[in-house]
């Protein structure tokens, strides 16, 4: 079981390493979106500090979604996806491996970049750590839920726009708890409640999303 997941993760990481520019595109998109906000609302330090968590989180949602369309599309186009559906392993494990690789490529870099962006918005100390922690728990959920949308829209015209329509509403709880935790800790309240709820969402997504994506893939590949 673990070896299946590991095999898929290694495969997708190898592929990503041979296409390194794709990884960088996602990170730079994230940085650009975050940097646009001060330009839009003005450089008022107090206002920016208050908005910081929300802005970074919304940008993370958009960045992670942007890279979703390619999650299954390449494998679908060259026929490896249908071959993967016929190996004697549960398809949900294969999906889990692919999602994990997607997170390492497009979610983890966002987590690592977030303290820098937080600094730009005047966050400090504990708030920066909290921002990183929430993104660390939250971005895997984004990849997991996003996989369902990517699988459903596989091979459709305008799939990229459609996937955002399907997936963004599902991202709302993660956004609320993620940004809420940072705000709460900045206000001196505990963020334990937020974090444990996010953990619960992560567990639920980990159990249900690969299964749902596998079902969606079977529908789409037909």
Partner 1 sequence: MFNLFKYSSPASFYPLAGRLAVGFGIASVILLVIGLYMSFFVAPTDYKQGEGYRIMFIHVPAAWMSMWIYVVMACFAAAGMIWNTRLSSMMASSLAPTGAMFTFVALWTGALWGKPMWGAWWVWDARLTSELILLFLYVGFMALESAIDDPRRAARASGLLALVGVINVPIIYYSVQWWNTLHQGSSIKVVDGGIEASMSEIMLWTLLVMTFACWFYAVAVSLSRVRSTILERESDAVWVKALLKERKA
Partner 2 sequence: MDKALLEINELECVRGDKQLFSDLSFSLQAGSLLHVHGPNGSGKTTLLRAIAGLVLPENGEICWNGETTGKQKDDFNRELLYLGHHYGLKFELTGYENLKVFANLSGADINEHEVEAALTKFGLAHCVELPVKVLSQGQKRRVALARLLLQRSKLWILDEPFVALDAAAVELLLGVIKAHVADGGMVILTTHQEVAIDAGQLQHLHLGQQPLDRQQAGSMPSASVTEPH
Nearest residue (CB) to partner 2, 8 versus 205 = 8
- Please, are residues 26 and 59 in contact by the beta-carbon 8 Å criterion? no
From candidates 13, 15, 27, 166, binder to partner 2 by CB under 8 A: 15
CB 221 within 8 A of CB 78: no
Q: Which residue has the tokens 């400090």?
A: 124
Smallest separation (angstroms) from partner 1 to the CB of 17: 32
Specify the residue, 89 or 120, whose C-beta has the smaller distance to partner 2.
Answer: 89
What is the end-to-end Cα distance of the chain in Å, rounded?
26
Q: Report which DSSP code applies to 106.
A: I
- DSSP character for 103? I
**Chosen from partner 2, partner 1, none, partner binding at 83 (C-beta under 5 to 8 Å by type):** partner 2
Q: DSSP letter for 107, please.
A: I
| Cβ atoms 85, 64 nearer than 8 A | no
- Residue 13 lies near partner 2 (rule: CB under 8 A): no
Q: Is 18 a binder of partner 2 (CB under 8 A)?
A: yes
Q: Which stretch binds partner 1 (CB under 8 A): 61-69, 108-116, 125-133, 177-185?
A: 177-185
Q: Which residues bind partner 2 (CB under 8 A)?
A: 3-4, 7-8, 11, 14-15, 18-19, 78-80, 82-90, 94, 218, 221-222
């Amino acid at each position: 079981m673990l070896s299946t997941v590991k095999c898929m993760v290694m495969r997708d990481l190898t592929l990503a390493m041979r296409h390194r520019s794709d990884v960088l595109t996602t990170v730079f998109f994230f940085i650009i979106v975050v940097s646009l906000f001060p330009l839009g609302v003005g450089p008022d330090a107090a206002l920016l500090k208050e908005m910081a968590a929300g802005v970074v989180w919304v940008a993370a949602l958009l960045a992670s979604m942007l890279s979703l369309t390619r999650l299954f599309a390449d494998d679908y186009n060259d026929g490896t996806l249908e071959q993967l559906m016929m190996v004697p392993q549960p398809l949900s494990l294969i999906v889990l491996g692919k999602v994990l690789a997607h997170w390492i490529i497009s979610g983890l870099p966002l987590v690592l970049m977030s303290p820098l962006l937080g600094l730009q918005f005047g966050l400090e100390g504990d708030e920066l750590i909290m921002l990183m922690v929430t993104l660390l728990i939250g971005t895997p959920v984004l990849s997991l839920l996003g996989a369902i949308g990517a699988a459903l829209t596989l091979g459709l015209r305008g799939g990229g726009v459609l996937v955002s329509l399907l997936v963004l509403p599902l991202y709302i709880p993660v956004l609320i708890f993620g940004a809420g935790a940072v705000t709460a800790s900045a206000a001196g309240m505990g963020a334990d409640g937020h974090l444990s709820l996010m953990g619960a969402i992560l567990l639920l997504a980990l159990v249900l999303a690969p299964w749902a994506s596998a079902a969606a893939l079977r529908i789409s590949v037909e």
